Structure 1
């Protein structure tokens, strides 16, 4: 990944950071981001997991999964296992998880074992063939992980292949407009062009990550190309959840979406 001289502003984790535009090299991006999550990722960005889809959006309010008892579920980007635990405790019949970080996989194993749960866990980039069965799952889901994909259309095609016919794909990520706007002195200020989907590298607390901020239409069109039909999309922040928070971020969430969630069905 060759850095060029273009410096830019991006919004990561609710805060404004400096970044450098880079040429996307899939192998290097995977190496960079796996190292990030092996080391400081959770400490720097925290861990978003069910029942939360992200800031101010919850499964308990949205009920996108419904009753998962007896269902087979696969998580893309399982992190340290909180979402798998949440669904396992709701009597899913099989839990599977994938993550690019060996460290996160080990955390998931430990968490689930301590709680009497088990899952089949695979360390792999989400874009690659890794032995996950096809036409098998009732749900595939991803909580704040799908945006790390280097090949969004290819990832969605793989996810469609994993699902049974009429199976559901549920995922959340930072809303693209949120990634462009910063709160400054009780005002919202655009810091980045919404249409800029180029890759960038940013340093957080001494650790480096690589990302691209995609337009909402990019996600929608990639789902359509993979054969999905969107059933529901959520952009609104929960008013009750916002009332419990103060500061610039909560004020920002009252003015524009900071998280989006999509539920799509395999045709």
Structure 2
């Protein structure tokens, strides 16, 4: 069964309090790196997988995209996205990527932000993305970094005085399900190595042309008190071209 925590009222309410929810893209630590690795969007047909509040869809429309489709498994997320989106060429669809259907080559750009670590069968999703992209289409996505997802607790190790000692990495090469806690709820994620991301993209017919381990801008680190975010990678961005 595909996971949909965001339609749980308590979970959704907690998510709504996060900086990226209240402040939009500029409050997301990885946004500048993701934005800088998106292709030219003017005149392009864009698909956003796991669009959430629709921030990226609105951005694509503002950059002159010809048409934008945002998909999400959460009806609550899409309700919020429709409230926030002002562009008239953005369409939202309540579906998981595994079930989404579109004509072959329907999109020029596919993007996804912090969604694909919830997907069990990444090979099938990448194959579907490749089918739905036009020739030389661009696939750009962010996920939680494999260093971050390797341990189920996904939290710092604290010393006897309650100070951060280090971030634990264990079972890195043991891929698969991780049952962890996020926003006070039990959540299932899927851990994969960086190598596995590469292999899955190549097997689906992509050529990987960028790998980024984003660091929040210095001004955001200082504003948010995120100095410890420089001690371990939390996110991974990959950009690939359909061959």
TM-score by length of 1: 0.76
Report how far residue 144 of structure 1 moved: 0.6
1:98 has 2:71 as partner: yes
Q: Cα–Cα, structure 1 residues 171 and 183, in superposed 2: closer, same or farther, change >3 Å?
A: same
Q: Deviations over 1:93-131 (max 9, x none)?
A: 10001111122122222222xx24342222222122x33
| Match among 244, 250, 260 for residue 227 of structure 2 | 250
RCO greater where, 1 or 2, for CA within 8 Å and sep 6 or more?
1
Gaps of 5+ in 1: 1-26
Q: Which residue of 2 aligns with 1:127?
A: 98
Matched, 1:147 2:117: yes
Unaligned ranges ≥5, structure 2: none
In structure 1, what is the equivalent of residue 215 of structure 2? 237
| Residue 246 of structure 1: how far off its partner (Å) | 6.0
Distance in 1, matches of 2:218 and 2:184, equals 36
How many angstroms does 1:53 deviate by? Answer: 10
Alpha-carbon RMSD across the aligned residues, in angstroms, is 2.6
Matches within 5 A, 1:18-97: 27=1, 30=2, 33-34=3-4, 36-39=5-8, 40-45=10-15, 46=18, 48=20, 51=25, 55-56=29-30, 58-59=32-33, 63-97=36-70
State which of 224, 235, 240 in structure 2 corresponds to 1:259.
235
Distance (whole Å) between structure 1 residues aligned to residue 201 and residue 6 of structure 2: 26
CA distance in 2, matches of 1:182, 1:234: 22
Q: TM-score with structure 2 length normalisation?
A: 0.82
Distance in 1 of aligned mates of 2:101 and 2:91 = 11
